Amino acid sequence: MKTSIFCVNDDCTSCGTCVDTCPVKNIALMDSRPAWQHHCELCFSCIRRCPVAAIQIIPRAEIFSSV
């Protein structure tokens, strides 16, 4: 089961901006990639602030098909 509505693609440069911008510290870098935890407030700052637009929202149908 996926635990986040977000995914990151190979354009990620591991800059850490998404980690720093999250107001509720819901993102950590793990193996140089962002990993979302379980208390997202859906502000979408991580998506908007990523300098290479590497963060996407996983389509709803895809989330439920993996449960």
Query: Per DSSP, which regions of 1-67 are E strands?
Result: 6-8, 27-30, 33-36, 55-57
- Count Cα atoms within 13 angstroms, Cβ side, for 58: 15
Determine which residue in the list 16, 57, 62, 64 makes contact with ligand SF4, applying CB under 6 A.
16
Q: How far is the CB of 67 from ligand SF4 (least distance, A)?
A: 20
Backbone CA torsion sign across 23, 67, 62, 29:
positive
Contact positions with ligand SF4 (CB under 6 A) in 26-45:
26-27, 34, 36, 40-45
Contact footprint for ligand SF4 (CB under 6 A) = 8, 12-18, 21-22, 24, 26-27, 34, 36, 40-46, 50, 52, 54-55
